Amino acid sequence: MSARSSLLTTAALLNRRTVLAGTCAAGCAALAGCATYSAGPKPEAAPPAGGTAAPQPGGAPAPLVKTAEVPVGGGVILAAQQVVVTQPTAGLFRAFSTTCTHQGCEVTSVADGSIVCPCHGSAFSVTDGAPTEGPAKKPLPEKAVTVSGDAVTLA
């Protein structure tokens, strides 16, 4: 083997290794992403006693949202509190966990009377959190709320 062909062979081998390493890195990243969703529901952090909202001075939980900010027939997702507050009919407020009961993604929108999970297309009723579309079979867990004046607060 000549010095030139040896150099070419070494260069070809390095290129193949580089390609394989790049493929492995991309494949490993893809597998890591799949593992996140196939590992089952995400463990939910235990909310502090009295709800997820920070308590106000005096021990009362802080309001989640103002009633006027929750559309009738729709809802508002409060990602930081992991709560979706809905108003199925005027003056009736409900709240649910934002963690999808299929594989633990966070729901991201409320449209046409449904709370929607973007991961696999599950949708849940704004009225009772029951699954209406997609692979989820269990309702979103409900969270008790109270309405005082113009504020909706976790009970």
Closer residue to ligand FES in complex, CB, 99/153: 99
Closer residue to ligand FES in complex, CB, 15/36: 36
Structure tokens at 38: 């196939």
Shortest Cβ 4–ligand FES spacing (Å)? 57
Closer residue to ligand FES in complex, CB, 48/121: 121
Shortest Cβ 31–ligand FES spacing (Å)? 18
Shortest Cβ 123–ligand FES spacing (Å)? 9
Burial class of residue 16, CB neighbours in 10 A (0-12, 13-18, 19+): exposed
Closer residue to ligand FES in complex, CB, 62/119: 119
Closer residue to ligand FES in complex, CB, 87/99: 99
Shortest Cβ 104–ligand FES spacing (Å)? 6
List of residues contacting ligand FES (CB under 6 A)? 100, 102-105, 117, 119-122, 134-136
The three-class DSSP label of residue 153 is strand
CA 83 to chain centre: 10
**Neighbour order of strands in the sheet with 109-111:** 109-111, 114-116, 123-125, 131-133
Shortest Cβ 37–ligand FES spacing (Å)? 7
